[in-house]
A and B are shown apart, each in its own frame.
Chain A
Amino acid sequence: MRVWLNKQRNLLDFSLSSLSRRRGKTLGMLTVYTSIVFVLASVMLFSHAIRREAATVLAKSPEVLVQRMVAGRHDLIPARHLDAIRGVRGVQSAEGRLWGYLFDPAAAANYTLMVPTNPRIEPGKVVIGDGVVRVRNADPGDLMSFRAHDGSLVQFKVDHAISRESALVSADLFLVAEEDFRRLFGIPAGMFTDLAVSVRNPREVGKIAEKIDAALPDTRIVLRDEILRTYESVFDWREGMLLVLLAGSILAFAIFSWEKASGLSAEERREIGILKAVGWETGDVILLKMLEGLVVSLSAFLVGYLLAYAHVFHLGAGLFEPVLKGWAVLYPKYRLTPFVDELQVATLFFFTVFPYTVATVVPIWRAAIVDPDQVMR
Chain B
Amino acid sequence: MRKSDAFLTLSAVLLLLLGASFADAARGLVREEPALERKAEMVGRLGLTDLVLFTEARYTRHPSQADLHSAFQDHPFAMDHFPTGSLLPPPILKGRP
Contacts and interface: CB of A to CB of B under 8 A. Distances in A.
Interface of A: 9-10, 12-13, 16-17, 20, 50, 53-54, 56-62, 65, 67, 69, 72-74, 97, 101, 109-110, 112, 114, 116, 118, 129, 131, 162, 165-173, 175, 194, 196, 206, 209-210, 213, 220-223, 225-227, 229-231, 233-236, 238-242, 295, 298-299, 302-303, 305-306, 309, 313, 323-332, 337-340, 342
Nearest to A47: B87
Contact of A234 (B25, B53, B68): B53
B54 A326 contact: yes
B42 A169 contact: yes
B89 A74 contact: no
Interface string B75-87: 0000000111111
A229 B6 CA distance: 48
Contact of B22 (A60, A131, A340): A340
Contacts, number: 229
A169 B43 contact: yes
A116 B46 contact: yes
Q: How large is the interface on B (under 10, 10 to 19, 20 to 34, 35 or more residues)?
A: 35 or more
B86 A239 contact: yes
A305 to B, nearest CB: 7
A62 B84 CA distance: 25
A118 B89 CA distance: 32
A227 B50 contact: yes
Contact of B46 (A59, A65, A114, A131): A114
Contacts of A194: 65
A329 B55 contact: yes
A328 B64 contact: no
A189 to B, nearest CB: 20
Interface in B35-69: 35-36, 38-56, 58, 60-69
